Amino acid sequence: MVSNSLDQKSLINRHLTLSPYSLWSLWVLTLKFLLLPHSWAVIPDELIASIQSENLRSHIIALQENSDRNTGKLYRTRNALHQHAADNAANYITAQFRRSPQLEIRTQKFSGMRNVIARLPSRNTAKANRIFIFCAHYDSKANRDSNWNPLTSKAPGANDNGTGVAIMLETAHLLSAFKFSCELRFIAFSGEEVGLMGSQHYAKKAAESGENIVAIFNIDMVGFNWINDQIDIVTNKRSSWIVGFTRIINNWFDFGLELHEFRDDLFGYSDHKPFWNQGYDAVTLVENITPWRDSRGYEANPFYHTSKDTVDKINLNLVTKVARLALTVLYNLASRDSVFLPTKPLITFDSPPTVNQSPFKIKGRILSPFPLQIAIEPENLIADIDRVNRVYSALTSLRNGINHIKITATDAIQTNTFEQQIEYRPDFEWISTLVYPNPSYKDLVTFRAESNRPVDNMQVAVHQVDGTLVRKINGVASQSNSKIWWAWWNRKITYGIEVATAVYICKFEVESDNRIHARHEKLIVVRE
């Protein structure tokens, strides 16, 4: 990641042998998943699991050491001003791209530097007009060290940006087992640390050629954070759809990353900016937009742009999560027959029109082949998704009566909204029944009943303990709330004779939804 300083940089390379296990895994994936129908858009779990920390670490170490496999010389820098170190790093990246024979590899030279480009052609060359780019810069610098010299000083750049390059290399290798209806390009940029020179050159040439680049996904240092799994996504307004889809993928697959959108059309510290300048949609994934100062809940990176930016400082678990996220985002975007496919995401809403409980579980089935995010209003909930069984659910609170539920399903591009009415009719429950004063000496007796449902009628029957009826009193509803009813008794029987001192049983009976509900209370009457 480039800082506000425009000091210069350099590059490296070394051959990394592929383990027998890795070779076998790739063959299994190739045989298994090349046979999938092209409409299948959800990435297989086995492919996600193929992103392994050990492989990422091997790439980072190789870039950090930058060993020339012919001479054995260790450069330990990839600064763009160090010609031999830069070329050696580019050679390593080229050798890693060549592990995948499906990739077409070329270099793009400019100002004494070179970008390394691996192209995965479309399965249908006649329609290969859409391009997705996955990129990372490979040059490094250590200008925060005192007396730093780009030609003689170490700049291992394990985090900045060995992590990004490692993720890009593994993603390219694994996705090369597939053919998509679009073209994928994996680009290692040089000269990022000296003013975004590699990406500026590439973006300018792409615009001049009229290339239809749909999205650029750039990764720039994602390995220092040991405190939490926060990742910033740098975007401008027009590129924010990429952020939205990245969030969908993160939630759909439970990667567990905490993604923060940083929207600033002027933010120019990484390789997304030249693409913005040419009118392309681009984002950068970075653990901290300001690694030189405290931010995002963890301390600033003291090893940023120093000779101590080595692999032992890197949280490989975090890097692996980001790698799996990036792989999955790119796979799912590339799997669409058209990125602006008019087909909207489809779901069902499986709920009865009337329910008797709250909170209530909203649920339904997912019919779209693409990963989705499902939001439920009015509570602004994000539904839980069971992607294996392709169902969703969310626990939402309902109010008495008619509830208007709005469900919004969103995939990479399209949004579809469904609205449904649910009437909440809870089963009848007594909230309280009161008799007061109790004991009653000479006062008027008051009866109060409250329930969770509207009441149509109430009657209180006063009985002696042997069951003999003493008096029936009709109730009246509260003027403001039909769930609350009142009745009053002057302690006399029907003929005006006052009752004797005794214990009485007061039976509350209310009618609600054509059903009768009863409850009993004791009353002590004392005659003076």
- The answer to the question of residue 275 being in a domain is yes
Residue 239 sits at φ, ψ, to 5 deg, of -95, 0
Do 317 and 446 fall within a single domain? no
Extract the runs of DSSP E, i.e. beta strands, from 31-112.
104-110
Do 120 and 92 fall within a single domain? yes
Q: How far apart are CA 157 and CA 89, in angstroms?
A: 12
Q: How far apart are CA 361 and CA 348, in angstroms?
A: 14
Does pLDDT of 143 surpass 90?
A: yes
- The answer to the question of residue 103 being in a domain is yes
Per residue in 486-521, pLDDT (tens digit) is 999 999 998 889 999 999 999 999 999 899 999 999
Residue 68 sits at φ, ψ, to 5 deg, of -80, 115
Per residue in 171-186, pLDDT (tens digit) is 999 999 998 989 999 9
- The answer to the question of residue 251 being in a domain is yes
CB 350 within 8 A of CB 197: no
Please name the residue that has the structure tokens 């993604």.
259
Q: Cα separations (Å) of 237 from 33, 215, 259, 325, 442?
A: 36, 13, 17, 22, 76
CB 187 within 8 A of CB 133: yes
The CATH number of the domain holding residue 377 is 2.60.40
Q: Which of 321, 318, 285, 335 has the alpha carbon at shortest distance from 130?
A: 335
CA terminus-to-terminus distance, the chain: 93
Mean pLDDT for the stretch of residues 135-156: 96
Domain boundary pick from 279, 299, 334 = 334
CB 133 within 8 A of CB 185: yes
Pairing of strands 445-451, 484-489: antiparallel
Q: Three-state DSSP class for 210?
A: coil
- The DSSP element (H or E) to which 126 belongs, if any, is none
Question: What was the pLDDT predicted at 289?
Answer: 77
Helices (H), 258-406: 273-277, 316-334
Domain boundary pick from 274, 305, 334 = 334
Do 72 and 182 fall within a single domain? yes
CB 175 within 8 A of CB 184: yes
Mean pLDDT for the stretch of residues 20-39: 39
Q: Which of 168, 162, 166 has the alpha carbon at shortest distance from 217?
A: 168
Do 327 and 370 fall within a single domain? no
Edge-to-edge strand ranges of the sheet holding 401-410: 354-355, 415-424, 401-410, 373-377, 381-382
Q: Which of 258, 279, 277 has the alpha carbon at shortest distance from 267?
A: 277
Q: How far apart are CA 411 and CA 329, in angstroms?
A: 11
Q: Which residues contact 169 (CB under 8 A, 6 or more apart)?
A: 59, 93, 96, 97, 186
Do 383 and 243 fall within a single domain? no
- The answer to the question of residue 9 being in a domain is no
Do 439 and 393 fall within a single domain? no
Per residue in 465-490, pLDDT (tens digit) is 999 999 999 999 999 999 999 999 99
Domain boundary pick from 424, 453, 475 = 424
Q: What is the DSSP string of 9-47?
A: -B------PPPHHHHHHHHHHHHHHTTS-TT--SPPHHH
Do 218 and 362 fall within a single domain? no
Does pLDDT of 396 surpass 60?
A: yes
Q: How far apart are CA 332 and CA 371, in angstroms?
A: 8
At position 178, the amino acid (one-letter code) is F
Do 59 and 154 fall within a single domain? yes
Q: What range does the domain containing 387 cover?
A: 354-424
Both tokens assigned to 86:
């830069």
Q: Which of 38, 50, 300, 253 has the alpha carbon at shortest distance from 167?
A: 50
Question: What was the pLDDT predicted at 425?
Answer: 87
Q: How far apart are CA 136 and CA 85, in angstroms?
A: 18
Confidence class for position 293, pLDDT limits 50, 70, 90: low
Does pLDDT of 359 surpass 70?
A: yes
The CATH number of the domain holding residue 495 is 2.60.40.1220
The CATH number of the domain holding residue 289 is 3.40.630.10
- The answer to the question of residue 210 being in a domain is yes
Q: Which of 134, 149, 157 has the alpha carbon at shortest distance from 2?
A: 157
Confidence class for position 335, pLDDT limits 50, 70, 90: confident
Per residue in 89-136, pLDDT (tens digit) is 999 999 999 999 999 999 999 999 999 999 999 987 655 579 999 999
Do 159 and 37 fall within a single domain? yes
- The answer to the question of residue 345 being in a domain is no
- The answer to the question of residue 343 being in a domain is no
Do 302 and 395 fall within a single domain? no
* Count of domains forming the chain: 3
Q: Which of 244, 184, 249 has the alpha carbon at shortest distance from 41?
A: 249
Do 416 and 434 fall within a single domain? no
Do 274 and 321 fall within a single domain? yes
pTM of the model: 0.76
Edge-to-edge strand ranges of the sheet holding 183-189: 104-110, 113-120, 183-189, 131-137, 213-219, 282-286, 230-235, 258-263
Among 4-18, 207-221, 399-413, 416-430, the least confident range: 4-18
What length does the chain have? 528
Q: Three-state DSSP class for 451?
A: strand
Chain center to CA of 261: 11
- The answer to the question of residue 383 being in a domain is yes
Q: How far apart are CA 71 and CA 52, in angstroms?
A: 30
390 Rama sector, left if φ>0, alpha if ψ -120 to 50, beta otherwise: left
Both tokens assigned to 127:
């329609």
